[in-house]
Structure 1
Amino acid sequence: MKTKQFIVGLTLSALLGGGVAVGSYKLLEDDNQANTSQEEVQYPKVRYTSEMRSSTNAVPEGLNFIKAAQVSTPAVVHVMTEYSVRSSDRYNSPMDPFLREFFGDGFGERVPQGPQMGSGSGVIIASNGYIVTNNHVIDRADKIEVVMDDKRKFEATLVGSDPNTDLALLKINADKLPVIRYGNSDDLQVGEWVLAVGNPMNLTSTVTAGIVSAKGRNINILSTNQRSNGQVGDMTIESFIQTDAAVNPGNSGGALVNLNGDLVGINTAIASQTGSFAGYSFAVPSAIVSKVVDDLLKYGEVQRALLGANIQEIDAALAKEKGLKTLNGVYIARVTEKSGAQEAGLQEGDVITSINDVAVNKSSQLLEQIARYRPGDKVKVAYLRGGKEKTANVTLKNLNSSTEITKRAVAKSASFDGATFEPVSKQEMNKLGIDGGAKISGVRNSKFRETGIKDGFIITRIDKYNVNQPADVEKYLKSFEGGVVYIEGVYPDGLKAYYPIGKG
């Protein structure tokens, strides 16, 4: 009986074990199938295929850089410059012209060097070939070339420049070009998205994105550059748009655009201790760009209007010292004699709060507002005096305390004593760092042949008088009746020279 029970129990155990085993196997098989199915769903491209599929990226509404990049990129150009080694960079003295007469044009040259190259960016603002860039991109360049986004190349001429805003206008011989229209930089808000378009480090047509970090920023870079170049007085306008869009060497002169692709600034500088992008970049606002370009096209030079007051930003220390009841506005430290500010009744100690209803809390903001106008224009100035609000209508004047618009006259050639004198081009003036002059030719058959002057010499000064155009040569030389007159000037290679001419 016990044996029979044992056999039955063993049989049941075997059946139960077999069932468990089969059930376990089936369960594991189902799990494996489930895992395999899950892997196939999670990794659909297990088998390699070279077919590319299109995908639509979902971006937040209003945050799409594609349109702005497509609109602006074709109108941003690569500006390439060439600089020759000038004689003034090698060895120079007033005796050089005479020593070169005996030893040849290579006299005094220390190390033979080829031309040096530079590059930057530019923005096409008119379909017939006008391009705006930075002054420092083309300053002192012997040759300027422009490479389009479609790889076409043109030689450019300099229409005019303004070191005070670091802007320059170029012209190429082309038509029906893509352009970027101006946007209103006044409408930009801190935190708004912008794109920087340019050619950094020779990487053509590069687009980077960032936000507006600040407006009306003064970093004292233009005034520092002018002092290093020996220029006296500070007439610079620095009211930059600060962004965190990546900008590197080669971006200078390129476009800063909003999400519509409108030009809101010209990229100009970076804040860096290494020379490469370190987080912040600065652009000249389009409100200043458009005014400078208009002036260069209409008058040949920028019409700079002045309020006629020395100003100072207000901080806690100044407010305490002067007994001011506000930290807003700009403090008038001194009023210039015969200026528009004086004639309108502004006084030392007044606090300017707005220009034409635009609030100004920093010097850079006030200077930017005034820079938009020309001599003779009137602006409404709101100010505080003794804590009371007042307004005055100020007629802006130029550096000579005049309301006249100065227009660069078209100089004509002139002949005198057998020699021909030609006007100096704007590009030559920029290259040599001069404001005018008269280039002489035909020396061999003239009365100047005994002086040692060679063809191509540009006369910039006769005795104590500046020579701005060819007609000045005859005018000033005829005014001397006897004695020795000294002529000062420069050769196209940068060599400065002085020549005595006997009169009488």
Structure 2
Amino acid sequence: MAKKREPSFHILNSPIFWAAVFSVLVSTGVSWLFAQYRLEPQIEQLAQLILSSNTTEAPPAQPSQPSVEIVPLETRPLETAYPAAFSERRVSPLLQLVRLSPKTVAGVPLTEDHILGDVVALTSDGWVATTQTVMKDYRLADLGVLWNGEVKPLTLGYRDKSTGLAYLKTEATGLSITNFVRAADVVTGSAVWMESAPSVLHPESIIRLRSPQVATVLSSEVASRRFLVSGASTEASPGSAIWDGAGRLIGVVEDYSDKDAGWRIIPAGMMSSDLANLLSTNQIQRASLGVRAIDLSQVTFADRANLPVRGAWLEPDRVKGLPAVDKKGPSIDLLQEGDVIERIERDILDGNADLGEHLLEYRSGASVTVAGTRAGKPFETKVTLGSVVTTESIK
């Protein structure tokens, strides 16, 4: 049986075979390189065409906007310029005095025309003080005080002829209590606060310790001193309050002086003791010398002769026909017309306070030393002070 012939692979070992393979590979590579060289420009052009067809026109450049800084909003409240005595008080001691008329109807709001001025609370149970320029000749039944949105009637009233003040009792309760500044403690240039209406405050200053006055003969029981406070542009009312920075009452507005460009203020230093007298005796009693005098510090002379610059010059009130020394007063036979009182005890009449204001500090029945000049020569005497009632009831 013939054997099957196995395939022969001796051709793979033939140099001629590998030479042919190499020749084919070389010719193929050369052809590819040639084709790549010939097609490269066309390929590049085609790529650019495709890119240009897919590219949109860029929008024009916009002008740059300025940068904006956002400032956070402050949430805390502004700080008050008022002293703590005002910013922390629960309610203002200043109230408004109103005039009631027969046409006033319950349930109808009052207008500005009804407001006469201001009053200052002295006690929590309804005692208030104001000036006589507010009261004028009104009856108590015609007046009331605004408190908590309604009018509280007046039940009592007194005018004090020695100071120009008026004391009123209202039916209002729960009022603020007021503290006071002595007139002697006030100095020129003192910073003060004018309360022209309840809780409406204006910073002002004391520009004079005493408002200038004409040469007027005054009783020794009259305290005529008025502070002068700035505030030509401030709208205030008679009775408006003047406070120091601690919330103490210095005085109340009497009126405005165009001549002196300031508000004339009645000192409040004696209100506390005067009210105590009213509550205990229903009247105010003053110590009295029983004389009339001109304050020399308020007078200008062409020739002073023997008169000093300051002091109380005893002169009669020729308009009213009253003598310089009361015939039944405590100074009869001790003082005489023409005398100049320059000192009572240690109180020198230097022009800041008049004779009547100095006597406010003394009690009736006290024996005081009075010194001065008589016909240009020094004199000194002892006087036992008398007593005079300076209040009258308001009906």
TM-score tier by shorter-chain length is 0.5 to 0.7
Unaligned runs of 5+ in 1: 1-35, 58-63, 87-115, 224-232, 400-404, 409-425, 430-504
Cα deviation for residue 198 of structure 1 reads 3.3
1:147 is aligned to 146
Query: Are the aligned partners of 2:101 and 2:142 in contact in 1 as well (CA < 8 Å)?
Result: no
Higher-Rg member (1/2): 2
Alignment pair present for 1:271 and 2:257: yes
More helix by share: 1
2:356 is aligned to 367
1:214 is aligned to 208
Query: Are the aligned partners of 2:223 and 2:354 in contact in 1 as well (CA < 8 Å)?
Result: no
Cα deviation for residue 291 of structure 1 reads 4.2
From 326, 331, 334, give the equivalent of 1:336: 326
Cα deviation for residue 154 of structure 1 reads 2.6
Q: TM-score, normalised by structure 1?
A: 0.52
Describe the SS at the equivalent of 1:137.
Answer: helix
From 279, 284, 297, give the equivalent of 1:302: 284
| Amino acid of the structure 2 residue aligned with 1:206 | V
Query: Are the aligned partners of 2:220 and 2:355 in contact in 1 as well (CA < 8 Å)?
Result: no
Unaligned runs of 5+ in 2: 1-65, 104-112, 316-323
Cα deviation for residue 49 of structure 1 reads 5.1
Give the Cα separation in 2 of the matches to 1:47 and 1:269.
53
Cα deviation for residue 195 of structure 1 reads 1.2
Give the Cα separation in 1 of the matches to 2:150 and 2:69.
46
Describe the SS at the equivalent of 2:210.
Answer: strand
Q: RCO greater where, 1 or 2, for CA within 8 Å and sep 6 or more?
A: 2
2:35 is aligned to none
Cα deviation for residue 47 of structure 1 reads 3.5
Alignment pair present for 1:125 and 2:122: yes
Query: Are the aligned partners of 2:244 and 2:250 in contact in 1 as well (CA < 8 Å)?
Result: yes
Describe the SS at the equivalent of 2:134.
Answer: helix
Return closer, same or farther for 1:407/1:158 CA change in 2, 3 Å cut-off: closer
Alignment pair present for 1:238 and 2:224: yes
CA deviations on 1:87-116 (whole Å, 9 max, x unpaired) are xxxxxxxxxxxxxxxxxxxxxxxxxxxxx7
Give the Cα separation in 1 of the matches to 2:89 and 2:337.
47
| Amino acid of the structure 1 residue aligned with 2:206 | V
Give the Cα separation in 2 of the matches to 1:152 and 1:121.
15
Give the Cα separation in 2 of the matches to 1:389 and 1:46.
82
1:138 is aligned to 135
Describe the SS at the equivalent of 1:261.
Answer: coil
Cα deviation for residue 188 of structure 1 reads 0.7
Give the Cα separation in 2 of the matches to 1:270 and 1:316.
24
Give the Cα separation in 1 of the matches to 2:390 and 2:250.
28
Give the Cα separation in 2 of the matches to 1:307 and 1:146.
37
Query: Are the aligned partners of 2:179 and 2:249 in contact in 1 as well (CA < 8 Å)?
Result: yes
1:162 is aligned to 160
Describe the SS at the equivalent of 2:304.
Answer: helix
Query: Are the aligned partners of 2:122 and 2:128 in contact in 1 as well (CA < 8 Å)?
Result: yes
From 168, 193, 206, give the equivalent of 2:191: 193
Cα deviation for residue 181 of structure 1 reads 1.1
2:93 is aligned to 76
Give the Cα separation in 1 of the matches to 2:391 and 2:262.
38
Give the Cα separation in 2 of the matches to 1:46 and 1:357.
71
Query: Are the aligned partners of 1:319 and 1:327 in contact in 2 as well (CA < 8 Å)?
Result: no
Cα deviation for residue 55 of structure 1 reads 6.7
Alignment pair present for 1:255 and 2:241: yes
| Amino acid of the structure 1 residue aligned with 2:301 | A
Query: Are the aligned partners of 1:69 and 1:261 in contact in 2 as well (CA < 8 Å)?
Result: yes
Give the Cα separation in 1 of the matches to 2:391 and 2:158.
12
Return closer, same or farther for 1:126/1:354 CA change in 2, 3 Å cut-off: same
Give the Cα separation in 2 of the matches to 1:51 and 1:360.
57
Cα deviation for residue 48 of structure 1 reads 6.0
| Amino acid of the structure 1 residue aligned with 2:99 | E
Return closer, same or farther for 1:328/1:76 CA change in 2, 3 Å cut-off: same
Cα deviation for residue 197 of structure 1 reads 1.5
Q: TM-score, normalised by structure 2?
A: 0.65
Query: Are the aligned partners of 1:352 and 1:383 in contact in 2 as well (CA < 8 Å)?
Result: yes
Give the Cα separation in 1 of the matches to 2:151 and 2:100.
18
Query: Are the aligned partners of 2:256 and 2:264 in contact in 1 as well (CA < 8 Å)?
Result: yes
Q: How does 1:77-476 map to 2 (within 5 A)?
A: 77-84=94-101, 117-139=114-136, 140-141=138-139, 142-148=141-147, 151=149, 153-199=151-197, 204-217=198-211, 219=213, 236-245=222-231, 251-272=237-258, 279-314=261-296, 315=299, 317=301, 320-321=304-305, 323-324=306-307, 326-333=308-315, 334-343=324-333, 345-362=334-351, 365-373=354-362, 375-385=364-374, 389-398=378-387, 429=395
| Amino acid of the structure 2 residue aligned with 1:254 | S
Query: Are the aligned partners of 2:228 and 2:265 in contact in 1 as well (CA < 8 Å)?
Result: yes
Query: Are the aligned partners of 2:289 and 2:386 in contact in 1 as well (CA < 8 Å)?
Result: yes
Q: Identity over aligned residues, as a percent? A: 22
| Amino acid of the structure 2 residue aligned with 1:264 | I
Deviating 4+ runs (over 6 angstroms): 405-408
Describe the SS at the equivalent of 2:354.
Answer: helix
Query: Are the aligned partners of 2:343 and 2:371 in contact in 1 as well (CA < 8 Å)?
Result: yes
Cα deviation for residue 243 of structure 1 reads 0.9
Aligned length: 309
2:7 is aligned to none
| Amino acid of the structure 1 residue aligned with 2:342 | T
Return closer, same or farther for 1:253/1:50 CA change in 2, 3 Å cut-off: same
